Amino acid sequence: MTERLMYRQEIEALIRQFGEPRRHTCTMEISHETFNSWVRKISTGPVSCRGEVIMVIVRPNGNVLLHTKEFYPPGVYRLLSGRVLWQEKVQDTLRREVKEETSLDVKVERLLGLIEYEFRCQGSSLPFVSYIFQLEELGGELCCLDDAEGITGFREASVEQLPTVAAHLEQLEPEWQDWGNFRAIAHYVVREMLAD
């Protein structure tokens, strides 16, 4: 179902450069409101997208970088991510988002995972793709360069703490439940991959 979002030649090039990712598929039942929000995100507007990159930035101490935004529920932190716009290559998105959201200098270590989602609601379905990259922090000063991102803070977590981060996301109040369940998945995948 995600074929129209993923370009075969691009995927093959990413694998050649960064290694074979672990692939996951996930089907999620979501509310009508959330489904319509995803339809708009994928199909309309100047920032419509065909997927996202998830940035697993490993700091010099071995911890990974999390962030929060001004509109998130209090105490919610998660891995960094950014939209792959329809006209963008995945690697270009990765470079752009790392710079905008963290200003750090990084090295791409590997393509950790590829999560293919199917969002379902009342008989309709919609695909989405997350490309998970492991990045090594090389230097720079941590700060968000794009005020429009709404990032208000950073935090670190050990790899072993990622399931706890995911569990917190899964326990959010009802209006955040679909979002929290969706965001939790990548944290479990990253924990699994980095524990190997």
The number of residues in the chain equals 196
Report pLDDT for 2. 63
Q: Which residues of the chain have pLDDT under 70?
A: 1-3, 44-45, 196
Quick one: which H or E segment has residue 168?
helix 162-170
Contact 131, 52 (CB under 8 A): yes
> Count of CB atoms within 10 A of residue 175's CB?
11
Report pLDDT for 1. 61
Pairing of β 22-29 and β 78-85: unpaired
Report pLDDT for 41. 87
CATH 3.10.180.10 fits 8-195, yes or no: no
